[in-house]
Chain A
Amino acid sequence: GQQVMQIPQYQHVQEGEDFTTYCNSSTTLSNIQWYKQRPGGHPVFLIQLVKSGEVKKQKRLTFQFGEAKKNSSLHITATQTTDVGTYFCAGRKAAGNKLTFGGGTRVLVKP
């Protein structure tokens, strides 16, 4: 079945630094979504990428969809304590509604 993997599993970041988390799918995706889950909270939608090579920005967050539509990345610049949480990517195969979630990257920010 479809697998979605994320690395790293954990990310300890000094406040103010940048980091990137990566998402890789075993199959080609029709689209990929990113969610953020704060500690004790539920996942909240961040963005959806649909086109090959697509890049979208949300303030300090930059999301990219790979050319082959099998991988994606989330880059955060100038990390803040509000960035703490787990970031999940979730992929959809072509012609399907089911979202398969990656394992998540748990981000801790050191002030």
Chain B
Amino acid sequence: SAVISQKPSRDICQRGTSLTIQCQVDSQVTMMFWYRQQPGQSLTLIATANQGSEATYESGFVIDKFPISRPNLTFSTLTVSNMSPEDSSIYLCSVGEPLEKLFFGSGTQLSVL
């Protein structure tokens, strides 16, 4: 199993600012993903964080809005840029090996005023 530390756990931000969320894993993992979960809704994949190269974004998500870094096999960051109230959500880091189960971080609850 993988232990994931995700920071911050919650934040309240002003419109137009940016927030960087960190995801630290206690072991090397092949796959790292970033999901968004609106209150009471399902999980939507934002992107796959690729080690040493640009992230792979899903339809509807772009690098300028959600830049992602993955400098090594245990760490990734997601930045939510130029925030608006519509970005208020829970952001989840998840990790796993190809074709296997996912482990999730405890999430970052973001509120944008």
Majority DSSP secondary structure for residues of A touching B: strand
Q: Which of B19-27, B70-78, B80-88, B94-102 contacts A (4 or more CB under 8 A)?
A: B94-102
A100 to chain B, nearest CB (A): 8
A87 to chain B, nearest CB (A): 11
Is there contact, CB below 8 Å, between A98 and B107?
no
- Residues of A within 8 Å of B41, CB to CB, are 103-104
Cβ-based interface call for A91 (8 A)? no
Majority DSSP secondary structure for residues of B touching A: loop
Cβ-based interface call for B112 (8 A)? no
A51 to chain B, nearest CB (A): 14
Number of chain B residues whose Cβ lies closer than 8 Å to a Cβ of chain A: 20
Cβ-based interface call for A97 (8 A)? yes
Among A45, A99, A103, the residue within 8 A (CB) of B103 is A45
- Residues of B within 8 Å of A90, CB to CB, are 43, 102
Among B31, B43, B48, B59, the residue within 8 A (CB) of A101 is B43
B46 to chain A, nearest CB (A): 12
Is there contact, CB below 8 Å, between A42 and B106?
yes
A15 to chain B, nearest CB (A): 23
Is there contact, CB below 8 Å, between A1 and B102?
no
Cβ-based interface call for A43 (8 A)? yes
- Residues of A within 8 Å of B105, CB to CB, are 42
- With A42-B92, A42-B104, A48-B101 as known contacts, state yes or no: A97 contacts B42, CB within 8 Å: no
> With contacts A90-B43, A101-B42, A101-B43 known, what are 9 further pairs, Cβ within 8 A?
A33-B101, A35-B102, A42-B106, A42-B107, A45-B103, A88-B42, A101-B44, A103-B42, A104-B41
Which A residues have a C-beta under 8 Å from some C-beta of B?
Answer: 1, 30-31, 33, 35, 41-45, 48, 88, 90, 92, 97-104, 106
